[in-house]
Amino acid sequence: MHFRIFFVFSLLLTQNFLFADEESVKAFKDDRPNIIFFLTDDQRNDFLGCTGHPIVKTPNIDKLAGEGRLFDNAFVSTSICAASRATLLTGLYERTHRFTFGTPPIANIHTSQSYPALLKKEGYLTGFIGKFGIKIRKGAKEAMFDSFVPLNRSPYFHKQKDGTLRHETQVAADRAIDFIAQAKKEAEPFCLSVSFNASHAEDGDKKNHFPYPKAVGSLYEGVKMPQPKLSDPKVFESQPEFLRKSMNRDRYFWRWDTEEKYQNNMRNYLRMISGIDHAIGRVIKELESQGMAENTVIIYMADNGYYAASRGFAGKWSHYEESQRVPLIIFDPRAKKEARGKREKGIALNVDIAPTIVALAGARMPQGYQGRSLTTSFEGSPEAQAPEDFFCEHRMNNKSIPKWEGVRGERYKYARYYEQDPPYEFLHDLKSDPMELKNLVKDPAHKEKLEEFRKRCALLSTKYDNQAKADSQKVLKKVQFGLLDAGNHGGTEDAITEALALDPDSKEALLARADMYERKGNFGKALADIDKLVEALPGVDQLRQRRGVTRFFHGDMRGSIADFDVYLKNNPAREPHHWQRGLAYYYAGEYEKGVKQFEIHQDVNSNDVENSVWHFLCVNKIKGFEAARKSLIDIKGDGRVPMAQVQKLFAGKLEPKDVLDAANAGDPSPDELRNRLCYAYLYLGLYYEAKGDAKKSLENIKKSAIDHSMPHYMGEVSRVHLRARTK
């Protein structure tokens, strides 16, 4: 009695506790901040009023910096939009996520851990507006975003429903305002990514490179633009030839090579930045009108820097500060007064954005993230301290953009352009030479520092490369352990493709893809992968054996025999078991070797009618039909239907009809009947071929290879035979 009362009382307490906990969670969710991440294109850190530009007007962004935190030393780890945007999304370096222009889409294993995917799982309303700039796999967009509104330049001015033209930057603000209104209606915390195409040039328009919104068209009229940094021609001439002839120099002649061009284009470029500021101001006003400004964190960053004629360059891509250094502002209206208006001096990176947004939302932080949250000041706990250096690189395949990797530290920067012959290195002392005009690689006084940075670069490169390979193995396990739906070849192919995108040299993935291609009957593609494996692992005999099989099914009999010979030379004990080499000998016309191979195979497998028949076929080619019949190997133990009848057919004791009758006898299932007929018609085709009746042989082989095709070894042999006889 007392126990029952205590139990009921305890249950009530538990229920009340659970209900209270649910309410507290709900309240926590309601109190979580909204987050807007503004991303610009091609803007280095000093092209804002708050970062010291003497002319550009950016009052709204400056106010965010004045009331938030401005990061003076913010950088991108790869200075190109595609790779950098993938880093911003995934919290991973390019060396790990593997995405840039010309590569496969970002792997699902990474987009599933992206900041919008994680926040969406936590109940955030997630949205994207503007330039996406990256490729993702099927289903990833829906997993990340509730609302996805891509806006692309080319042209910058978009035709509206009323026929008017509106600049992409303003359209992005329009759509952001619509999203905020929807979020207010749904009463959910939101995370909105607004990714401007501006201030990227319109590359297809060689006259009007920087189309700007009409709202800022009157700005800078008649204002003389200051000369670019490091404009002395000697600075450009000091560069190695591969940089002087790079795309950075090509585009310099598009936009900056005359005073007239420079003044016009720089004026319009600044207008584009002011247009972004104007659009951000509109979005902030909407937050204020909706009563959401006090609970909305705003982040502002650029996807890469921009030379804008500095050093005689255009574009970005290379290792100098103008290319890597970008603006970064985090404005949190909930921050205490003493935490506002701060200028952070420590290193902050694009790889830090995803963990920062996840931390702001209170969501689970993925262990694989390679960046760190910037939600606390660098002057806080030891965990909040800025890194002393970071890995940086550019891996895009483009003849005009040299690849490189390096390490940027607080004082020194190292870069290695590894595709040059020999590799070309830079070492800069940013303290004594902040403009990076001196290369200290050949300076004996910096020999130890150079070696230190070489080792550091190799260490970080290997670290991030190994994580990509580990991620590849995780993806591949879906295939290896059968976690994909049975028969889901599309899912299997996607997983293998992802694994290879993350680790192009993954031997397990190459082998899995070769298996997949072979199941589909595409032996040519399978061979391409196995060739890579043989080249990578020349001492692995089993790969030669494997390639020999694939070459056989692809119709390359000579190549098949060559691979088998290499394998058997190192594994002679396997020769009696190697029945397939006998088949290759038959189709290669080496009938005497085929006879020998089938005879020694008979010693290890005496109950196989197939061995008897192929021995017959080889003898027939050498001595004729009657001699082959007299030397027919006697087989009595093969119980497969209709193999006993096939043996008697070749012995002259039955007719072709008897083989088919045996195959159709009884009450076999549809699959079993199909299998029986596949065998029956194959050996009838071989029987007629031995008799010299090519027409009947081909009729029967077609029935085996096409009408009753089976996805097994002998089913594939029937297709090999059909291709061999119909060339």
Taking each continuous run of H as one helix and of E as one strand, the counts in the chain are 29, 14
The predicted structure's pLDDT at residue 253: 95
Contact 183, 125 (CB under 8 A): yes
Residue 481 binned pLDDT confidence (cut-offs 50, 70, 90): low
Do 8 and 98 belong to one domain? no
Distances in Å between the alpha carbon of 686 and those of 532, 679, 692, 701? 35, 11, 10, 8
Contact 316, 80 (CB under 8 A): yes
Do 316 and 408 belong to one domain? yes
The predicted structure's pLDDT at residue 29: 47
Do 259 and 327 belong to one domain? yes
Pairing, β 328-331 against β 296-302: antiparallel
Residue 492 binned pLDDT confidence (cut-offs 50, 70, 90): confident
Read off the pLDDT of residues 350-408 as tens digits, 9 standing for 90 and up: 999 999 999 999 999 999 999 999 997 655 555 568 899 999 999 999 999 999 999 99
The predicted structure's pLDDT at residue 376: 79
| Amino acid (one-letter) located at 375 | T
Pairing, β 296-302 against β 34-40: parallel
Do 228 and 92 belong to one domain? yes
Residue 672 lies in a domain: yes
- At residue 483, does pLDDT exceed 90? no
> How big is the chain, counted in residues?
727
Mean pLDDT, residues 425-449 taken together:
98
Query: CA-based angle 509:514:517, to the nearest 5?
Result: 125
Do 304 and 439 belong to one domain? yes
- At residue 26, does pLDDT exceed 60? no
Contact 158, 165 (CB under 8 A): yes
Contact 119, 126 (CB under 8 A): yes
Residue 41 lies in a domain: no
Contact 200, 42 (CB under 8 A): yes
The predicted structure's pLDDT at residue 620: 98
Residue 12 binned pLDDT confidence (cut-offs 50, 70, 90): very low
pTM above 0.95, yes or no: no
Read off the pLDDT of residues 154-210 as tens digits, 9 standing for 90 and up: 999 999 999 999 999 999 999 999 999 999 999 889 999 999 999 999 998 888 999
The predicted structure's pLDDT at residue 378: 57
Sequence-ordered alpha helix ranges (H) in 315-428: 321-324, 353-361
Q: How many CB atoms lie within 10 A of CB 21?
A: 10
Cα 565 to chain centroid distance, Å, stands at: 39
Q: What total of structural domains would you count in the chain?
A: 3
- At residue 8, does pLDDT exceed 70? no
Residue at which a domain ends, from 412, 428, 460: 460
Read off the pLDDT of residues 103-159 as tens digits, 9 standing for 90 and up: 999 999 999 999 999 999 999 999 999 999 999 999 999 999 999 999 999 999 999
Do 25 and 80 belong to one domain? no
Residue 563 lies in a domain: no
Cα 207 to chain centroid distance, Å, stands at: 36
Q: Give the integer Cα–Cα distance in Å for 252 and 254.
A: 5
Read off the pLDDT of residues 223-277 as tens digits, 9 standing for 90 and up: 999 999 999 999 999 999 999 999 999 999 999 999 999 999 999 999 999 999 9
Residues 6+ apart with CB under 8 A from 149: 127, 128, 129, 130, 175
Residue 505 lies in a domain: no
Residue 47 lies in a domain: no
Do 232 and 111 belong to one domain? yes
Both structure tokens of 626: 């009657």
Do 97 and 208 belong to one domain? yes
Residue 292 lies in a domain: yes
- At residue 486, does pLDDT exceed 60? no
Do 27 and 142 belong to one domain? no
Domain that holds residue 698: 639-727
- At residue 639, does pLDDT exceed 50? yes
Contact 283, 176 (CB under 8 A): yes
Both structure tokens of 255: 């936009």
Read off the pLDDT of residues 32-44 as tens digits, 9 standing for 90 and up: 999 999 999 999 9
Residue at which a domain ends, from 426, 460, 494: 460
Report the chain's mean pLDDT, rounded to a whole number: 92
Residues 6+ apart with CB under 8 A from 515: 526
Half-sphere exposure of 153 (CA within 13 A, CB side): 21
Which residue from 275, 158, 141 is spatially nearest to 214, judged by alpha carbons?
275
Residue 281 lies in a domain: yes
Do 404 and 302 belong to one domain? yes
The proportion of the chain whose per-residue pLDDT surpasses 90, expressed as a percent, equals: 89
Do 85 and 1 belong to one domain? no
The predicted structure's pLDDT at residue 383: 53
Residue at which a domain ends, from 460, 493, 528: 460
- At residue 30, does pLDDT exceed 70? no
Which residue from 380, 446, 461, 478 is spatially nearest to 112, judged by alpha carbons?
478
- Lowest-confidence region among 232-241, 408-417, 475-484: 475-484
Determine if the peptide bond prior to 155 is cis (ω within 30°): yes
Do 210 and 269 belong to one domain? yes
Looking up residue 372, the CATH number of its domain turns out to be 3.40.720.10
Residue 395 lies in a domain: yes
Residue 477 binned pLDDT confidence (cut-offs 50, 70, 90): confident
Read off the pLDDT of residues 53-105 as tens digits, 9 standing for 90 and up: 999 999 999 999 999 999 999 999 999 999 999 999 999 999 999 999 999 99
